[in-house]
Amino acid sequence: MSSTLNLAPLSGWGLPDTTRPIVIAGPCSAETEEQVMATARGLKALGIHIYRAGIWKPRTRPGSFEGVGSIGLRWLQRVKAETGMRTATEVANVKHVYEALKAGIDILWIGARTSVNPFAIQEIADALEGVDIPVLVKNPVNPDVDLWLGAVERLNKAGLTRLAALHRGFSSAEKSELRNEPQWQIPIEVRRRQPELPMFCDPSHIAGRRDLIRDLAQRAVNLDFHGLMIETHCQPDQAWSDASQQVTPEQLGDILHALVRREATSADSDYQRQLSELREAIDQLDNDLLNALARRMDIVAQIGRIKKANGITVLQAGRWDEIVRRVHQRGAERGLSEGFLDVVFRAIHEESISRQQRILDDLA
Ligand code: PEP
Ligand code: MN
């Protein structure tokens, strides 16, 4: 169960424009005053309203550039004074919070390596008590919905209501063309549990490569995300951190121009009728699936009982292999992918085995 959050809608964040997607852009790191200002001018020209820059950088290994530190806050103040854009930076501890607040930073975000740690989040929440500044909470590096929402809840309990989740993908040991696996079902589950919590996407850290950002941003828009955070640098190839995933303001303009905007819903009566007919069909099919699963499990139990009576093992590896091959073949004929079928049938098989195991153990 998720607790109820007391949230202000995005319209109450005091932003100049909340047309979706709300775009937050700016460099991975503030490097020099010139780089910060040149990037800001490029973004202002695109009509961007929120400027991001990392001042304190969490790096995987020591010795990498760890951010310019507090001096960068003065550059962000200059961005705001000269362009009128709101400013955003990452805070990872109490010192960052105090300095960012003192400098008048408008929006804070909490990084993936911080939201994974409830002690760190609680300290940040305590430091922010009574200051209702907007905070974007990145997902923890591991795909744990409770840990992610737990971080949001800690901030909310400290009185912060202008909160949003920021999806930046998840670490994985598996090789992939992406730097962090999106695992879209995780932010979807967060939205199911907390529909009022705005959801942003950071396609830059998911991609790790600038050529993949456009498709990921479109995916997020298709899934009704409220906003995007996209790392943008006046000279991406010279960036001191995350060079390969940053885009120029001009490239950001192209990405945003190509985005197909979608509405969350439509009042059109034809659309509403078609949708409700199709949803009814889905509900009926889900019912059929549940009935079929229940019948399958009954038969599994009967098999378990005859196996037990005859002193036979629960698992016959050959039989499972035969099922997998048949499912792949019949699934392919119906346009169902092997990856999908593997997930579904592995779950069915696991449940079947555990039912028979319980019969053997006299628990059922
Ligand atoms: C960042 O936004 O620059 C950053 C460090 O992101 P993450 O916490 O997602 O790695
Ligand atoms: Mn970065």
Residue ranges of domains in the chain:
10-258, 269-360
**Alpha carbon of 231 to ligand 2 centroid (Å):** 7
| Residues in the chain with pLDDT values less than 70 | 1-2, 364
pLDDT score at 316: 82
pLDDT score at 218: 97
Identify the CATH number of the domain defined by range 10-258: 3.20.20.70
Beta strands at 107-110 and 135-138: parallel, antiparallel or unpaired:
parallel
Helices 249-258 and 213-222: crossing angle in degrees, nearest 10, is 40
According to the CATH classification, is domain 269-360 in 1.20.59.10? yes
* Any ligand 1 atom below 6 A from CB of 198: no
Rounded to two decimals, the pTM is 0.87
Q: Whose CA is nearest to atom 1 of ligand 1?
A: 28
| Token pair for 93 | 């501890």
pLDDT score at 116: 97
pLDDT tens-digit readout, 7-36: 999 999 999 999 999 999 999 999 999 999
Quick one: which ligand is closest to 245's CA? 2
Identity of the residue numbered 184? W
Q: Which residues contact 7 (CB under 8 A, 6 or more apart)?
A: 156, 161, 162, 163, 196, 197
**Alpha carbon of 29 to ligand 2 centroid (Å):** 7
Beta strands at 227-231 and 22-26: parallel, antiparallel or unpaired:
parallel
Helical (H) or strand (E) element with 136: strand 135-138
Ligand 1 mutation pick, 136, 138, 139, 233, max ligand atoms within 8 A of CB: 138
